[in-house]
Amino acid sequence: MGDSELMFKTMTEEKFKNKCQDYVRSKNCEKLQPTWVNGEIWTKLRGQARSNDIKLQKLQTGIIKATIPALQVANTLLKVKQGEA
């Protein structure tokens, strides 16, 4: 399988959840988490707006989950460059 094929191959939901558990958000990155809609606002939204919001939340969550390991790699590289690792 070529590199380009790996970019477009989708992962099962279960495998994605297992991978995400391997990477824990750092304590100094408390803002690196999905946002949630206020409950009062949520009850007033129409069905289509809720559906769109759920899709956006899932997308945001995926981006955040992918960002965590990238930040960990960047941090490791920075430590190596500074001679700490």
Per-residue tokens: 35: 């946002």
* pLDDT, tens digit (0-9, with 9 covering 90-100), for 20-79: 777 777 788 788 887 888 889 999 999 999 999 999 988 888 888 888 889 889 999 999
Each residue of 2-40: b (16+ CB within 10 Å) or e? eeeeeeeeeeeeeeeeeebeeeebeeeeeeeeeeeeeee
In this prediction the pTM is 0.64
| Mean pLDDT value across residues 2-27 | 75
Assess contact for 50 and 39: CB atoms under 8 A: no
Give the residue among 63, 61, 75 at the shortest CA–CA distance from 27: 75
Per-residue confidence (pLDDT) for residue 44, from 0 to 100: 92
